Amino acid sequence: MSTSSPSASIERPVRLPTGATGPTRARRRPGRANRAPRAVALFGPLTLFVLFTLLPLYWMVVYAVTPENHQGFLPWPLTFAHFLAAWNNLGFAFLFRNSAIVGGSTLVVTVILALAAGYALARFTFWGKKLLILALLCTQFVPGVVLLIPLFQIFKGLSLIDNLLSLVISDTVFQMPLAAVLMAGFIRNIPVNLEEAAMVDGCSRFRAFLVIMLPLLRPAIVATGSFAFIGSWNNFLFALMFMNSQQNFTIPVGLANLIGEYNVDYGALAAGGTIAAMPLVIIFAFVQKYLVQGLTAGAVKG
Amino acid sequence: MAYPLTADATTAKRRKRLNSAPYLLLAPTILLLVAFVAYPIATVFYYSVQHYNVTEPWNNGFAGFSNFTQLILNDSKFWSSLGFTVKWVVGEVVLQLVLGLALALVVNEAFRGRGLARAIVFAPWAISGVLTTEIWLLIYNPVTGLGKLQRLLGLGNGNIAPLATANGAFLSALVAELWRGIPFFAILLLADLQSVPQELYEAARVDRANVFQRFRHVTLSHLKDAIVLSTLLRAVWEFNNVDLLYTLTGGGPAASTTTLPLYIAQEATISHNFGYGSALTVAAFVILLAFSAIYVRLTRFGQEA
């Protein structure tokens, strides 16, 4: 008997929830009796949130992979006919390619501009800096719809209507300010001594940036690049307004046209939606861990 | 080249020498902002005092303030869209905040599989308005969605068409946008929840505060700034939200779910009435500017760089 009671008192803290605040929790919830209500209070709402998130997606995927007039809840029997129809007959091959071109170009241009601007904001003091940061943040409040008509006029003047370049420009303009502010925050967190050590060793400032800073900024580049890509991939209104011919439409415009048709082919619509969601899901899996940090830095920190 | 001993002096010296560097680095950014944000905003004001309709070129010309008098005195759609905008923004922001805070509290707890749970419940953040419409249309459509569900379960004939009535369309759009909007608040508030010092909870417990008191006086008071900030930010974004309503309800039935920005988008893309659309845009812009002014004041933006 005397051996069991000390062992229990040693084991107890080990068994209790292993969070970052383990010991604190242990004091707060000393017994197992409290676990059941906690589980209900925690997993009840969690289950509801997960179901609310997943069921609509599940419903779409079921429609995308099952034959027409399918009855039931399970995605069975499987068919890829809808994907083939969407890809070949409904133009998703075009749409996907256009969205990828615009999204990819926006990503590259935005990241380069954000690196340059972010570096300037983080490493230099200069006249007009505060004003510029304020201007960058204020662009977050300029709705796309405000710029719809004047940007159309500008691109018409530049003969860029029905040209994907107009989308790259307008998407970059909308994605770049937040990316620059985010990047400035990331760069500010890297000690300036690292660069200066390299410069003392004879590196130019630019070389020091390439060799020392760029590798350290990889998470920042992944995060800002992904935000820019997602924003561009999802942009509907500009593409709707600036593109006239079918072969230049992007995925949101293609989806919207499909939705607007009277005789909707629901299977193909669902397949198209699944195709549109695919890159987002993959990118989101990558940037998910930067999301909390990234959005907060951009929205709160300034 | 001789380097002074202290790092501060080095940086100061280099800063002085490379004075033009920040401007060179920022030149493309500033150029883009001037050419594609500042200049377009200026031209909106110009077009707002013009008759300018692509489909009626013979009427084009200086309009004075007639677009604005038309808008304020004779355009019932402007006022009804403004009313719905308020209803839409308040409904969305309040519900997204409450549910987003609940979600943040849940996924802030330590449990097995938390990383996966976060990835799942945050995912709709990345989904576009049009894609959200597509997903929820499969649910709201009587053939494919709730109606089908009712038939499969043998509960009725499945004539559920929530988008057909004004209230149904509003609620349908509200739920679809919630699906996409809750993660935004959850992500932002989660970051702030993680920074609540555990000692505060300890102290509150020593003072015999119960769960609700701890939530109110520790959690909520710590989150206050983040809540003020995120609600204002979200209010502006929901005001600007066009994609979802444009594709899900098309502003209908009978213009009952038309927000002011949706009205502008329709004037631009469907009616091609750029002059009147610009006048509407100026109205929206003034309203947003008032919002932004409050926002800047409340959060003291740009104070620390």
Domain ranges for chain A: 4-78, 84-301
Q: For B233-254, b where at least 16 C-beta lie within 10 A, e where not — what string?
A: bbbbbbbbbbbbbbbbbbbeee
The whole-number average pLDDT for the span B32-48 is: 89
Q: How far apart are CA B148 and CA A121, in angstroms?
A: 56
Our CA-based measurement puts residue B74 at a distance from the nearest CA of chain A, in whole angstroms, of 22
Segment A222-260, tens digit of pLDDT:
888 988 999 999 999 899 989 988 889 999 999 998 887
Give the chain B residue whose CA is nearest to the CA of A194: B7
Angle between helices A92-123 and A129-138 (to 10 degrees): 160
Q: Does A211 touch chain B (CB under 8 A)?
A: no
Q: Is A292 within 8 Å of B39 when comparing Cβ atoms? A: no
Q: Which of B3, B6, B26, B148 to mutate to test the interface with A (most CBs of A within 10 A)?
A: B26
Cα A188 versus chain centre, distance: 23
Q: Which of B37, B106, B190 is closest, CB to CB, to A45?
A: B106
Using CA atoms, how far residue B139 sits from A50, A116, B151, B176, in Å, is 17, 45, 14, 10
Q: How far apart are CA A241 and CA A167, in angstroms?
A: 10
Segment B109-139, tens digit of pLDDT:
888 888 888 888 988 988 988 999 999 988 8
Q: How far apart are CA B26 and CA B20, in angstroms?
A: 10
Q: Which amino acid is at A139?
A: T
Query: What is the model's pLDDT at position A35?
Result: 65
Chain A 7-26, residues with CB within 8 Å of chain B CB atoms: 17-21, 24-25
Q: Is A141 within 8 Å of B292 when comparing Cβ atoms? A: yes
Which residue carries 């979802």 as its tokens? B244
Query: What is the model's pLDDT at position A252?
Result: 93
Q: Is B10 within 8 Å of A196 when comparing Cβ atoms? A: yes
**Pairing mode of beta strands B50-51, B61-62:** antiparallel
pLDDT averaged over every residue in chain A: 80
Query: What is the model's pLDDT at position A178?
Result: 85
pLDDT averaged over every residue in chain B: 82
CB neighbours of A184 closer than 8 A, spacing ≥ 6?
Answer: A117, A118, A119, A121, A122
Find out whether B58 and B233 touch, Cβ atoms under 8 Å.
no
Q: Which of B25, B121, B292 is closest, CB to CB, to A117?
A: B25
Q: Which residues of A touch B154 (CB under 8 A)?
A: none
Give B16's pLDDT tier (boundaries 50, 70, 90): low
Q: Is B126 within 8 Å of A280 when comparing Cβ atoms? A: yes
Our CA-based measurement puts residue B216 at a distance from the nearest CA of chain A, in whole angstroms, of 18
Our CA-based measurement puts residue B118 at a distance from the nearest CA of chain A, in whole angstroms, of 9
Locate all alpha helices (DSSP H) within A29-163, ordered by sequence. 35-65, 81-84, 92-123, 129-138, 144-157
Q: Sign of the CA dihedral B205, B210, B211, B216?
A: negative
Query: What is the model's pLDDT at position A50?
Result: 93
Q: Which of A57, A58, A60, A56 is nearest to A82 (CA)?
A: A60
Q: Does A272 touch chain B (CB under 8 A)?
A: yes
The more confident residue out of A19 and B55 is: B55
Q: CATH assignment of B83-259+291-299, given 2.40.50.140, 3.40.50.2300, 1.10.1040.10, 1.10.3720.10?
A: 1.10.3720.10
Q: Side-chain half-sphere of A105: how many Cα atoms within 13 Å?
A: 15
Our CA-based measurement puts residue B73 at a distance from the nearest CA of chain A, in whole angstroms, of 22
Our CA-based measurement puts residue A5 at a distance from the nearest CA of chain B, in whole angstroms, of 28
Q: Is A146 within 8 Å of B137 when comparing Cβ atoms? A: no
SS3 A213: helix
Q: How far apart are CA B52 and CA B45, in angstroms?
A: 13
Q: What are phi and psi of B50, to 5 degrees?
A: -120, 150
Which residue carries 């380097």 as its tokens? B3
Q: Which of A48, A148, A253 to mutate to test the interface with B (most CBs of B within 10 A)?
A: A148
Give the chain A residue whose CA is nearest to the CA of B290: A141
Q: Does A283 touch chain B (CB under 8 A)?
A: yes
Find out whether A235 and A110 touch, Cβ atoms under 8 Å.
no
Cα A15 versus chain centre, distance: 38
CB atoms inside a 10 Å sphere around CB B227 = 18
Our CA-based measurement puts residue A1 at a distance from the nearest CA of chain B, in whole angstroms, of 34
Q: Does A270 touch chain B (CB under 8 A)?
A: yes
Find out whether A51 and B119 touch, Cβ atoms under 8 Å.
no
Q: Tokens for B6, please give them.
A: 């202290």
Domain ranges of chain B: 1-39, 83-259+291-299
Question: Bridge partners of B62?
Answer: B50
Q: Does A167 touch chain B (CB under 8 A)?
A: no
Q: Tokens for B185, please give them.
A: 């608040």
Q: Which of B43, B198, B303 is closest, CB to CB, to A24?
A: B198
Q: How far apart are CA B21 and CA B18, in angstroms?
A: 5
Give B152's pLDDT tier (boundaries 50, 70, 90): confident
Q: Does A291 touch chain B (CB under 8 A)?
A: yes
Give the chain A residue whose CA is nearest to the CA of B293: A138
Reported ipTM: the value is: 0.81
Q: CATH assignment of A84-301, given 1.10.3720.10, 3.30.300.130, 3.40.190.10, 1.10.287.1260?
A: 1.10.3720.10
Find out whether B232 and B298 touch, Cβ atoms under 8 Å.
yes
Find out whether A103 and A229 touch, Cβ atoms under 8 Å.
yes
| String of DSSP letters for chain B | -PPPSSHHHHHHHHHHHTTTHHHHHHHHHHHHHIIIIIHHHHHHHHHHTEE-BTT-GGG-EE-TTHHHHIIIII-HHHHHHHHHHHHHHHHHHHHHHHHHHHHHHHHHS--TTHHHHHHHHHGGGGS-HHHHHHHHHHHHSTTTSHHHHHHHTTSS-----GGGSHHHHHHHHHHHHHHHHHHHHHHHHHHHHTTS-HHHHHHHHHTT--HHHHIIIIIIHHHHHHHHHHHHHHHHHHHH--HHHHHHTTT-STTTT--HHHHHHHIIIII-BHHHHHHHHHHHHHHHHHHHHHHHHHHTTTS--
Segment B160-200, tens digit of pLDDT:
778 888 888 999 999 999 999 999 889 888 888 887 788 88
CB neighbours of B212 closer than 8 A, spacing ≥ 6?
Answer: none
Lowest-pLDDT range of A257-261, B156-160, B209-213:
B156-160
Q: What are phi and psi of B62, to 5 degrees?
A: -65, 135
Q: Which of B243, B245, B239 is nearest to B289 (CA)?
A: B239
The pLDDT of residue B47 is above 80: yes
Q: Which of A119, A135, A280 is closest, CB to CB, to B33?
A: A135
Q: Which long-range contacts (CB under 8 A, 24 or more apart) does B202-205 make?
A: B202/A24, B205/A28
Share in percent of chain A as helix, strand, coil (round to 5): 80, 0, 20
Name, of A71-80, A262-271, B175-184, the range with top average pLDDT. B175-184
Our CA-based measurement puts residue B236 at a distance from the nearest CA of chain A, in whole angstroms, of 7
Q: What are phi and psi of B85, to 5 degrees?
A: -60, -45
Give the chain A residue whose CA is nearest to the CA of B234: A141
Q: Which of B37, B285, B302 is closest, CB to CB, to A139?
A: B37
Our CA-based measurement puts residue A284 at a distance from the nearest CA of chain B, in whole angstroms, of 7
